[in-house]
Amino acid sequence: MASLPTRESASASTQEPVIGIRELSTRFGAHVVHHDINLQVRRAEVLAIIGGSGSGKSTLLREMILLHPPSSGSIKVLGVDLKNLSRDDALDLRLRWGVMFQHGGLFGSLTVLENIGLPLREHTQLSDAEIDEIASEKLVLAGLKPEVGAQYPAELSGGMMKRASLARALALDPELLFLDEPTAGLDPQSAAGVDELVLYLRDQLGLTIVMISHDLDLLWQVTDRVAVLGDGTLQAVGSMVELSQLDNPWVTPFFEGARGRAAQAAEHLSTKPREPSSKPK
């Protein structure tokens, strides 16, 4: 794996990582998905995991959120080793993170507001009125109008579905947020709105965000670092600028072709320094 310089303060470098993956390997029978993966996610950063089809991105995400155990190695999330967790300890840990699944994962028989409030009903003793109030706040935080709360998932556009799913992931005020293809299937305007929202969550709420994405605009605009999976291992980790300078057969395809060149050109045309995002509309 290429070792790239990083921009971090001395205090950040000594801080325990939010996620620490060491010597992780994953096999399905004779098929090796991952071999000797080592990766750290720092507090309040946006880290994206990319790679070609079959590179194991989704499997790695599932391992980080306790949906699949690795074959060997270790994963620590928020200082907790995921191996051999009791049911109660696993639940306590899950309550500290939020997950936005690629296809939303909303319950079609519940309104948007009911979907957002569901984690609060399952894991708190709050009254229905208090839950509805918090759910409404998360709805607006995710950039949706209050009246959307009365709608059902089938009535939402793709962009609205993504935002509603994100609002539910934020219901319990997580420290850590996992996003699975947050802009997949969205038109450019809706995708740009997600870009702004991710930056707001990182800059204003201090969330640590781990995402899987193929969206080159999103990768250039919002990520602090990107981890590239290929050939069963971690090929490189660094900023998009750093990765664009590498000569690596698993990395360079993301910067070649019309889409890659267009995303880089858009980034280079932006001369205004990045500032903490205002609350997205």
Domain that holds residue 125: 104-173
Strand order in the sheet with 225-230: 97-100, 176-180, 208-212, 46-51, 225-230, 233-238
Does residue 274 fall inside a structural domain? no
Write the CB contacts of 256 (distance below 8 Å, at least 6 apart in sequence).
Answer: none
Those residues whose C-beta lies under 8 Å from the C-beta of residue 149, and which sit 6 or more positions away, are 111, 112, 113, 116, 135, 136, 139
d(CA 253, CA 216): 12
8 A C-beta contact, residue 78 and residue 175? yes
User: Is 114 inside a domain boundary?
Assistant: yes
pTM for the model stands at 0.86
Instruction: Give domain status of residue 15, yes or no.
Output: no
Question: Is 165 among the domain residues?
Answer: yes
Q: Is residue 243 part of a domain?
A: no
Q: What is the pLDDT along the chain (281 residues), one digit of tens a residue?
A: 443 433 343 334 447 899 999 999 999 999 999 999 999 999 999 999 999 888 899 999 999 999 999 999 999 999 999 999 999 999 999 999 999 987 778 999 999 999 999 999 999 999 999 999 999 999 999 999 999 999 999 999 988 998 999 999 999 999 999 999 998 888 888 888 888 888 988 888 899 999 999 899 899 999 999 999 999 999 999 999 999 999 999 999 888 754 545 555 555 545 444 444 455 55
Number of domains in the chain: 1
149 located within any domain:
yes
Nearest CA-CA partner of 114 in 122, 196, 62 = 122
User: What is d(CA 250, CA 253) in angstroms, rounded to the nearest whole number?
Assistant: 7
